[in-house]
Structure 1
């Protein structure tokens, strides 16, 4: 009588095989991200006025819309690009905390800090209202408001996590915040002297009204080191507000979902975290920097890794932008974003005049 041998799982079903398959699927897209980040850093070194993060987004958009390369973006690169847009974005947000020190924020004084909080809240509410007024779909008004008022694509990624927003629905907000931040780099320096701003006031204006940290540096450095220092402190103060605003959105979303599942037994719903783990990591990095527990080497390495992770994430997000679709569906969004850009610039300028 023949013995019956127990059936063993195919090799492809073992954990190691699954992990190897996942790595093979992600590798082409992640390799493309590495190359894109290298190109972005290289172009930034040649043209310091162009932030590397902005270049990374543009490279992603170009890759997605150039015949030939677009086939790779939609094919073998897609899994890795999607991974970068989501997970490397979150890693970049965590490491961004190493750039923030509560001591620098405290040095501003309560009046200046209160004005910055007011600018963020008014910009958030005003931009969200504009999004609703222009009838933008889904979570677009919330994503754009978060990106414009706090810290660009990083803030959009954090808000998307607590809202459960699909990756594809963050593409347009990231494109708009990148576009308007890039316009600010060229426009704000031209307005410095007509508005009668000295270097410190100009730096504060840039820090209070430009979206992404890299864009702030690019715009403020045109007025010298004093303006750059003032801009970075103000900007990083805005970035600190990411955690409480995301937490508030998380509480609101959870309550909304609880109301939505009442009377539906057996369907408890999937609740997003009130504060995602990567936002807690962001706060932990702020504490590490503020307590002086991070050596200069750690801060330098962390800063470099943050830029690499965020650059790869922005390349991944940019690769999801289809210019044809953007032109077809985006005119209303573009007008709304330009109005929001003017609003936050006006609010930031008002705060600067009050600080003087």
Structure 2
């Protein structure tokens, strides 16, 4: 039997050709922006190696703001920047869950877990209230509240994708948590040394109060070896609060939108974050894989922060005035006080 082989008919258009062409053109359009993002992320990583207390995403957003104001990127870079600013950001936040292990958090004990929950809740409530009194937009005060109360720039970026804030509000919020978190990095170890507090208590305070994970770990290292592990685990316990807070924000936003425009009840990247926590908690993922995933997660967040930073204009930040920084300063002091109270109440348990 002779088999008939179908051959392309040069006189008949291929129905799949427009799809293939569109896919290729979209990919090609993203290359210039992604190339700039990759270069900036590499530069941010080098900056972190030189100044370990400042995370790569923080370096990245600063670099993005500088580029956006000194030499704004043209329209040909927009597709790649858009990909980094949202999809890559959400993947990075989901992968953040691989740094957490439920067992480590539960091992802190009910007293420390209660201190974490109270500190985060008290920080969110007070900062949102004061932000309203200062006349800041709902998005601006939410970003500052999440960044100050939970985990710094990563929380700001994650909340931005839920509340749909603009680039200027995001950059200002990141600036506040970086500035005041850096101040706490120096102040908390100094106070612990001045009053000769128990190193474990000092580490707990650092984990409860300082914004960035890298800053809390650095502060624990300054306080002493007994504080380092405590600061890291307590801080990661605060990071775990990111999931329920984002879920609540998503539910609140759904209520303001029409039925057809509502986002999922729980954002998919939050589900991914929790799935990564569960996977990490099984103990089945090899340490090298977790380490590599941590680098990928930091790189993706750095890429997203650079992309967001390029849309920031210095004039808009100046127009906002000092109010966001007043809110960030007051929120930082409040978190530090509540965190110290929680650490003292727990009594420096042997963790």
Q: Is TM > 0.5 for Structure 1 vs Structure 2?
A: yes
SS of equivalent to 1:193: helix
SS of equivalent to 1:146: helix
Equivalent residues of 1:202, 1:227 under 8 A apart: yes
Q: Cα 1:208–1:328, aligned 2, differ >3 Å: closer, same or farther?
A: same
Deviations 1:109-136 (A, max 9, x none): 0111011100000001011111101010
1:34 to 3, 26, 38: 38
Q: Indicate whether 1:272 and 2:258 are aligned.
A: no
Q: Cα 1:105–1:279, aligned 2, differ >3 Å: closer, same or farther?
A: same
What corresponds to 2:182 in structure 1? 182
Equivalent residues of 1:171, 1:318 under 8 A apart: yes
Specify every segment of 5 or more residues in structure 2 that has no aligned partner in the other structure, as ranges. Answer: 1-10
What corresponds to 1:319 in structure 2? 310
Q: Cα 1:38–1:7, aligned 2, differ >3 Å: closer, same or farther?
A: closer
Equivalent residues of 1:89, 1:154 under 8 A apart: no
Counting only pairs closer than 5 Å after superposition, residues 286-301 of structure 1 correspond to structure 2 as 286-301=277-292
Q: CA deviation at 1:204?
A: 1.3
What corresponds to 2:48 in structure 1? 44
Deviations 1:301-350 (A, max 9, x none): 11111111111112222222222321222311111111111111111111
Paired with 1:26 and 1:195, the residues of 2 have a C-alpha distance of 55
Q: Cα 1:82–1:189, aligned 2, differ >3 Å: closer, same or farther?
A: farther
Q: Indicate whether 1:237 and 2:237 are aligned.
A: yes
What corresponds to 1:338 in structure 2? 329
Paired with 1:10 and 1:280, the residues of 2 have a C-alpha distance of 34
Equivalent residues of 2:58, 2:174 under 8 A apart: no
What corresponds to 1:17 in structure 2? 21
Q: Given the two structures, how large is their TM-score scaled by the length of structure 1?
A: 0.86
Q: CA deviation at 1:95?
A: 0.8
Q: Cα 1:164–1:315, aligned 2, differ >3 Å: closer, same or farther?
A: closer
SS of equivalent to 2:300: helix
Paired with 1:94 and 1:218, the residues of 2 have a C-alpha distance of 24
Paired with 2:19 and 2:182, the residues of 1 have a C-alpha distance of 45
CA RMSD of the aligned region, Å? 2.4
Q: CA deviation at 1:215?
A: 2.6
Deviations 1:209-268 (A, max 9, x none): 1222223223332224332211110111111111112222223333344xxx6xxxxxx4
Deviations 1:24-47 (A, max 9, x none): 222222222222222222232233
Paired with 1:164 and 1:50, the residues of 2 have a C-alpha distance of 26
What is the aligned length? 337
Q: Cα 1:311–1:217, aligned 2, differ >3 Å: closer, same or farther?
A: farther
Paired with 2:187 and 2:76, the residues of 1 have a C-alpha distance of 39
Equivalent residues of 1:143, 1:159 under 8 A apart: yes
SS of equivalent to 2:194: coil
Paired with 2:206 and 2:239, the residues of 1 have a C-alpha distance of 14
SS of equivalent to 1:77: helix
Equivalent residues of 1:164, 1:272 under 8 A apart: no
Q: CA deviation at 1:165?
A: 4.2
SS of equivalent to 2:60: helix
Q: CA deviation at 1:76?
A: 3.4
SS of equivalent to 2:148: helix
Greater alpha carbon shift after TM alignment, 175-184 vs 276-285: 175-184
Paired with 1:320 and 1:184, the residues of 2 have a C-alpha distance of 29
Q: Cα 1:219–1:61, aligned 2, differ >3 Å: closer, same or farther?
A: farther
Paired with 1:213 and 1:163, the residues of 2 have a C-alpha distance of 23
Q: CA deviation at 1:284?
A: 0.6
Specify every segment of 5 or more residues in structure 1 that has no aligned partner in the other structure, as ranges. Answer: 262-267
Paired with 2:224 and 2:41, the residues of 1 have a C-alpha distance of 27
Equivalent residues of 1:162, 1:274 under 8 A apart: no
What corresponds to 2:4 in structure 1? none
Q: Cα 1:289–1:7, aligned 2, differ >3 Å: closer, same or farther?
A: closer
Q: CA deviation at 1:10?
A: 11
Q: CA deviation at 1:207?
A: 1.1
